[in-house]
């Protein structure tokens, strides 16, 4: 589903990943992280796709909201599990969205 975002400007956190073969607890944790993010101040939406390469883009009102999400205790626990169990490689990019359009 395409996230409904407000008129720019806002921020996008782009999480690109290559998974390991270990799936233990991954799907449940990923769903929980979306639910938790939705409760965070400044959260605007999320989009995700996965085949060999996974890409999740979350949208945020401002940089302070992104920092607060990164520091969320449950999110930090999930990040540690990701480093140890689920991802062989990942990259996080933060970008300011200055323009968008749609059909």
pLDDT in tens, 26-69: 999 999 999 999 999 999 999 999 988 999 999 999 999 999 99
Residue 6 has pLDDT above 90, yes or no: yes
Has residue 103 been placed in a domain? no
pLDDT of residue 57: 98
The Cα–Cα gap between 22 and 11 comes to 31
Residue 67 domain-assigned?
yes
Residue 71 to residue 54: CA distance in whole angstroms: 23
Q: Is the residue at 74 inside a domain? A: yes
How many distinct structural domains can be found in the chain?
Answer: 1
Looking at residue 99, its pLDDT comes to 97
- Residue 4 — very low, low, confident or very high, per pLDDT cuts 50/70/90? very high
Q: What is the domain-level CATH number for residue 53?
A: 3.30.70.100
Q: Indicate whether 23 pLDDT > 90.
A: no
* Domain encompassing residue 30: 10-97
Contacts 24+ apart (CB under 8 A), 44-52: 44/3, 44/5, 44/6, 44/10, 45/3, 45/4, 45/5, 46/3, 47/1, 47/2, 47/3, 50/19, 52/18
Mean pLDDT within 65-84: 96
Percentage of the chain surpassing pLDDT 90?
94
21 is a domain residue: yes
């Amino acid at each position: 589903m395409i996230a409904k975002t407000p008129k720019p400007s806002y921020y996008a956190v782009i999480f690109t990943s290559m998974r390991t073969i270990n799936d233990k607890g991954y799907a449940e944790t990923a769903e929980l992280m979306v639910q938790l993010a939705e409760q965070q101040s400044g959260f605007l939406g999320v989009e995700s796709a996965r085949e060999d390469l996974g890409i999740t883009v979350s949208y945020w009102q401002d940089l302070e909201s992104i920092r607060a999400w990164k520091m969320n205790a449950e999110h930090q626990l999930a990040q540690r599990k990701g480093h140890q169990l689920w991802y062989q490689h990942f990259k996080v990019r933060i970008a300011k969205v200055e323009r968008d359009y749609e059909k």
